[in-house]
Amino acid sequence: MNIFRLVGDLSHLLAILLLLWKIWKTRSCAGVSGKSQIMFGLVYITRYLDLFTNFISIYNTTMKAIFIAVAIATIYLIYFKFKATYDSNHDTFRMEFLIVPVGGLAFLVNHDFTALEILWTFSIYLESVAILPQLFMISKTGEAETITSHYLFALGSYRALYIVNWVYRYYFEGFFDLIAIVAGCVQTILYCDFFYLYVTKVMHGKKLSLPA
Amino acid sequence: SKFDPSKDEL
């Protein structure tokens, strides 16, 4: 465990807790893409199946359990408890356009042709694009609430820190995982445009809105 | 099974 991974994980945790807290506190999930949240839920569940097969550390097990629990809670709030506030008219990205190709790719490009490994690979690929419905929704409505922007910034920071973590691990541990690195870089690139808007607008106290 | 370092990442 290096500092970049730890801060990245904490940033990841902060992001998902922030989103859950925002929905709970405002009793509304307006502006939040339920489809992105379903895909993140799928990401955690398919990746963390190893909770049942091998133990790594208390930290690892606890974080995995929290991620799965928070993801399920968020999906529950969006699709059940606060369903009336869910902005489905603007959440129109088709999930199958991501899940089907990503599933196919996981079958073709993986480290090992076993069920657990293919599901792990699927989750890595899916995570890299899971945020697209959320970004698509923001581009459709032309704006994002400030807390949603903070959520995206914390999530993007986690990805960027993981890249630094991989550089560190390559130099100091001689370890690298090409699947995780390529998918992680793709994912981080998707946040770049958002990062720019966040720094130029939200950090200066303005709401994130796209130019007309 | 052998220890796979990428699986200790979240």
Mean pLDDT for the stretch of residues A92-109: 97
ipTM reported for the complex, 2 dp: 0.80
Interchain pair B10, A177: CB under 8 A: no
pLDDT of B4 > 80? The answer is no
Contacts of B2 in chain A (CB under 8 A): none
Residue in chain B nearest A181 by alpha carbon:
B6
Place of tokens 């500092």: A3
Mean pLDDT of chain A: 95
Comparing CB atoms, the residue among B5, B6, B10 nearest residue A64 is B10
Instruction: Find out whether A208 and A202 touch, Cβ atoms under 8 Å.
Output: yes
Please report the pLDDT score of residue B3 as a whole number. Answer: 57
- Which residues from A are below 8 Å from B5, CB to CB? 169, 173, 175, 177
Mean pLDDT of A31-42: 98
Q: Which single residue is written with the structure tokens 């073709």? A: A108
Residue A195 CA to residue A15 CA, distance in Å, equals 15
Say how far apart CA A113 and CA A135 lie, in whole Å.
33
Of A101-105, A117-121, A200-204, which gets the smallest average pLDDT? A200-204
Residue-level pLDDT at A95? 97
pLDDT value at A198 more than 60: yes
* CB pairs A-B closer than 8 Å: 27
Q: Rounded mean pLDDT of A133-160?
A: 94
Q: Which two structure tokens, joined as six digits, stand for A171?
A: 């130099």
Closest CB to B5 among A9, A50, A175: A175
pLDDT of residue A116: 93
Average pLDDT of span A57-72: 97
Residue A124 has pLDDT above 60, yes or no: yes
What mean pLDDT do residues A33-39 have?
A: 98
The stretch A13-37 carries a mean pLDDT of 98
Cα–Cα distance measured from residue A6 to residue A44, given in angstroms and rounded to the nearest whole number: 18
Nearest to B10 among A67, A120, A179 (CB): A67
Range A32-53 average pLDDT? 96
Q: How confident is the model at residue B1 (pLDDT cuts 50, 70, 90)?
A: very low
Local structure of A172: helix, strand or coil: helix
Which residues of A have a CB under 8 Å from any CB of B?
A: 1, 5, 9, 12, 50, 54, 56-57, 60, 63-64, 67, 120, 162, 165, 169, 173, 175, 177, 179-180
A163-182 as b/e, with b when 16 or more CB fall inside 10 Å? bebbeebeeeeeeebebbbe
Task: Kindly tell me if the per-residue pLDDT of A33 is higher than 90.
Answer: yes
| Closest-CA residue of chain B to A162 | B9
